[in-house]
Amino acid sequence: MSANKKMLTREINFTLNGSPVQVSVPVAENALIMLREELNLTGTKYGCGEGECGACSILMDGESVNACLMFAVDCDGREIVTVEGLAQDEVNDQLRDAFVEKGAVQCGFCSPGMMIAAKALLDKKPNANRDEIKRGLEGNICRCTGYVKIIDAVAAVSGTNQ
């Protein structure tokens, strides 16, 4: 693709953090770039760009997905929630408070993705046990915490000690 050539774009409509948005995106652009650069939602992080680390996790129709692996145009017609969207809804305060109170955050770079993965898990399995929590977070890499305190935080919300 020549840099001078105007990139082919498409207009898409979707729900973002509860509000309708209309945006024109290059067809080859991924959803992570759209969120971070076009919509200035920088809570969703670039960690690898290949779907291996989970730093860019977002909710699409309630499922946790890697934004870096999705074309932006695939958001068309979907309901997308980013970490900023979680923060807008007080129903998620308990999860965020648990991350804080249980020490789940160190450098914090994986935290938004972990919050999304935890939210997706707890929506499906509100009483998830520790093994289920570990499985639910396995697509998200953390270099600082060794995961123990992240699992503790999710377990505090699911009410399990097992």
Residue whose structure tokens are 């652009």: 29
Stretch that binds other proteins, among 50-58, 59-67, 73-81, 120-128 (CB under 8 A): 50-58
Please provide the size of the chain in residues: 162
Query: Pairing relation of β-strands 63-66 and 57-60?
Result: antiparallel
Stretch 81-120: interaction string toward other proteins, x if CB under 8 A: -xxx-xx--------x--xxxxxxxxxxxxxx--x-----
Contact 25, 7 (CB under 8 A): no
- Residue 50, number of CB atoms within 10 A of its CB: 9
Stretch that binds other proteins, among 8-16, 41-49, 73-81, 121-129 (CB under 8 A): 41-49
Using CB under 8 A as the binding rule, whether residue 45 contacts other proteins is answered as yes
**What is the CB-side half-sphere exposure of residue 15 using CA atoms within 13 A?**
11
Using a 10 angstrom Cβ sphere, with 0-12 exposed, 13-18 middle and 19 or more buried, the burial of residue 63 is: exposed
Query: Of 28 and 77, which CB lies nearer to other proteins in the complex structure?
Result: 28
Least distance to other proteins, CB of residue 151, Å: 6
Least distance to other proteins, CB of residue 74, Å: 21
- Residues in contact with other proteins by CB under 8 A are 1-4, 36, 42-50, 52-53, 55, 82-84, 86-87, 96, 99-112, 115, 131, 133-135, 137-151
